[in-house]
Amino acid sequence: MKFKIIFTLICLFSFSIINAQNKHDHDHDHDHSSQHDHTGHDHSKGGHDHSGHNHAKGGHDSDSGHELDCSHAGNHHEGEFDPGATAFHHIADANVYSIGPIQIPLPCILYNKNSGLDFFMSNKFGFHSLGHGDGHYAYKGYVLDGGTVRMIQDANFPKEKTEIKGIIHDHETNEAFVCANGKMWPTYNNSTADFGLFGGGITPFFDFSITKNVMTMLIIFLFSFWLFRKVAKAYKTREGLAPTGVQGFMETMFVFIQDEVCKPFLGDKYMKYQPFLMSLFFFILFLNLFGQIPFFGGSNVTGNLAFTFILALFAFLVTNLSGNKHYWQHVLNMPGVPGWVKIILTPVEVLGLFIKPITLMLRLCANITAGHMVIIIFVSFIFIFSQNGAVPAGGWAAVIPSGLLSFFMMAIELLVAFIQAFVFTILTASYIGAAVEDAHGHEDDHGHELAH
Amino acid sequence: MGGSIAAIGMGLAVIGAGIGVGNIGAKAMEAIARQPEAVGDIRSNMILMAALVEGAALIAIIFSYLVK
C-alpha cells in the first residue's frame, strides 16, 4: 500500500519534470492549409461532433515556398480536413482538459530563464470554452496554441494580457509564430528530454504545468488509492468470510497476477517485489482503460513516450539494484564460455541490459498510441467522406461503417489494455527473477545457453 | 522520397508481424486439436506470445516514423 503511494508520487513528479509533452505537431501534408475540426472526441456510433466552430490552424502554412505572413492569422475559415494533424493533436498532451466539447483550464507552471517561474491558470490565455484551445491573448510572454503553451522568444514582448491576432505554423521546422501588434514573433516550444528525436530538445522554456496527462495521473492515483483502501478494509472487517463486491473482483485480478506472474518468476522472494509489480500492473491497466473513455478528456498517458520511459526506468532500477553476484557474473563474465567468445558476449549482454527496458517502453507506448490513432482515423472517415461538410451525403453514408469500425476497434483496445499491462508486468517480473535467482543447478551449461 | 521509403519500411514490419502472429495462431490451433482439454492454457500463452511479437513490429513502426 505504501509502495503504491510512493511509486505513484514518484511517477507524477518525474513525469512533470521530464516535460512529457510529446507534441507530434508536425503534419505530413505540406500542401494543404492544415486545419482540423474538433473530432476525435466523438466516438459514439452515428454521432457528429458538437463543437462550436471549425477553424484553420492559422494562416498560410508553407504551401508555396516558405512564405509566412500574418495576413491570414486567426482567420476562421473552412478548408481541407487534415486527419494526420487531428490524430496527432488528439493523442498529444495539452494544457487544457476537455470533457466532451467543454474545455477546462488547467494550472500552468512555466519557467524560463528570463522571468523565472510563473504560475497561473490557463484560462488567462482567453480560449473559448467550447472552442479549440487556441488562446486569444498572450500572457506574460506565453501563448496557448491549440492546447499547448509556447513562449515568445523576444523578452520585450509586453508581459500583461495582450491580444494576439493568431498563431501561424511553419510545418517544415515545426515552429510557430505569434502575430500580434503588427509583427511576427517567433516562439520557443517547451523543452523535452528526447535529445531532439521527436523534434524536441532543450530550449530556454520549461513547462512544468499540470497538463492533461498529469491531471489524469492524479485522478487515477486518487481513484486507485480509494479502491484499494476499500478492498483492504473489506479484508480486515470480513476476516474469514468469502469476499464480496469489489473485494471479490479485485481479488480475482490480484491473485491472478500473483499466481501467474509473481510466484513463477520470483520463487520464494516474491513478496519483496510484489508491491512494485502490482502497482505497475494496476497503474498501467487503469491508465490504459481511462484513455479509452470517449468524451472524458481522451488522455493518452500510457501512449506518451516519456511516461513509459519512467516506468521502464523504474523496472531497470529495480532489476539492476537487486541483482546479486550471480546475475552480474552472468552479464559481465559469463562462466563456462571461452575467452574469445567473452569479448563479443560481454558487450552484447551489457547492451541487452539497456535494450530490455527500452523495448518495454516502446512496446507499451506504441501499442496504446496505435490503438488511439486508429480510432481517431476511423472517426475522421466521416469528415473525410463529407469533405469537411461540403458533401453531407458522403458524411451520412460514412456514419455507419465508421461507427462499426470504431466499435470494433474500441473492443480490441479494451483487450489490448489488459494484455499490455500484463505483458509489461510479466516481462519486468522475469527480468527481476533473472536478477535475484540463486546459483543452484546450472553452473556448467552456460556454453549452451543463448546470449539472452 | 524519404517519407515513402519509411512507409515501405512500415509495411515490411507489418508483414513480419503478420507472419509471426499467423504462425502462433496456427500452432495453437494444432495444439488445441491434439489436446482439447488444454485449451485454456494454450489460449493464454498464445495471446501473450502474440503481444510480444506485435511489440517488435510496433517498435519498427515507431522507428520508421522517426525518419523524416
Domains in chain B and their CATH numbers?
Answer: 2-66 (1.20.20.10)
Choice between A280 and A186, residue whose per-residue pLDDT is larger? A280
Least confident of A117-121, A322-326, A375-379, A385-389: A385-389
Nearest Cα residue to A142 out of A101, A171, A180:
A180
- Long-range contacts made by residues A27-30, C-beta under 8 angstroms, separation at least 24? A27/A82, A27/A84, A27/A85, A27/A88, A27/A171, A28/A84, A28/B3, A29/A82, A29/A84, A29/A85, A30/A62, A30/A63, A30/A171, A30/A172
Least CB–CB distance from B58: residue in A28, A366, A422: A366
Contact A361, A311 (CB under 8 A): yes
Nearest Cα residue to A147 out of A84, A104, A83:
A104
Residue A12 pLDDT = 55
Asked if B59 and A362 come within 8 Å (Cβ–Cβ), the reply is yes
Phi, psi of B50 (to 5 degrees): -65, -40
Mutation target among B48, B49, B64, B66 for the A interface, most CBs of A within 10 A: B48
Residue A417 CA to its chain's centroid (Å):
14
- Rounded to the nearest integer, the mean pLDDT of chain A is 76
Contact A171, A26 (CB under 8 A): yes
CA distance B43 to chain A (A): 13
Residue A2 CA to its chain's centroid (Å):
25
Asked if A198 and B3 come within 8 Å (Cβ–Cβ), the reply is no
Q: Which of A7-11, A108-112, A321-325 reaches the highest mean pLDDT?
A: A321-325
Classify residue A267 by its DSSP letter.
Answer: G
Give residues 23 to 62 of A whose Cβ lies within 8 Å of B: 28
* Bridge partners, residue A98, by sequence: A103
User: CA torsion A50→A54→A57→A60, rounded to 10°?
Assistant: 160
Contact A10, A74 (CB under 8 A): no
Interface residue B33 vs chain A (CB under 8 A): no
Give me the helix-helix angle, A392-436 and B39-66, nearest 10°: 110
Contact A73, A58 (CB under 8 A): yes
Residue A160 has pLDDT above 50, yes or no: yes
Contact A144, A133 (CB under 8 A): yes
Report residue A130's pLDDT band, with 50, 70 and 90 as the boundaries. Answer: low
Interface residue B62 vs chain A (CB under 8 A): yes
Instruction: Give chain B's radius of gyration (CA, Å).
Output: 16
What residues contact residue A314 under an 8 Å CB cut-off, 6+ apart? A7, A10, A11, A276, A280
Nearest Cα residue to B59 out of A365, A350, A415, A316:
A365
Residue A267 pLDDT = 86
Phi, psi of A53 (to 5 degrees): -150, 155
* ipTM score for this prediction: 0.83
Contact A61, A78 (CB under 8 A): no
Nearest Cα residue to A388 out of A375, A398, A403:
A398
Q: Tens of pLDDT along A285-309?
A: 999 999 988 877 778 899 888 899 9
- Containing A62, the helix (H) or strand (E) segment is none
Interface residue B52 vs chain A (CB under 8 A): yes
CA distance B33 to chain A (A): 25
Asked if A419 and B48 come within 8 Å (Cβ–Cβ), the reply is yes
Interface residue A374 vs chain B (CB under 8 A): no
Q: Which of A110-114, A163-167, B36-40 reaches the highest mean pLDDT?
A: B36-40
Give residues 332 to 361 of A whose Cβ lies within 8 Å of B: 359
Choice between A259 and A36, residue whose per-residue pLDDT is larger? A259
Asked if A367 and B58 come within 8 Å (Cβ–Cβ), the reply is yes
Report residue A45's pLDDT band, with 50, 70 and 90 as the boundaries. Answer: very low
Report residue A29's pLDDT band, with 50, 70 and 90 as the boundaries. Answer: very low
What residues contact residue A81 under an 8 Å CB cut-off, 6+ apart? A35, A36, A37, A380, A383, A384, A387, A388
Q: Which residues of B touch A366 (CB under 8 A)?
A: 55, 58-59, 61-62
Classify residue A261 by its DSSP letter.
Answer: I
Q: Tens of pLDDT along A237-248?
A: 888 888 888 888
CA distance B66 to chain A (A): 7
Q: Tens of pLDDT along A170-222?
A: 766 667 777 777 777 787 777 777 666 666 677 777 888 888 889 899 999 99
Asked if B3 and A362 come within 8 Å (Cβ–Cβ), the reply is no
Choice between A316 and A175, residue whose per-residue pLDDT is larger? A316
DSSP A117-165: EEEEEGGGG---TTTTS--SEEBTTEEEETTEEEEES-TTS-SS-EE--
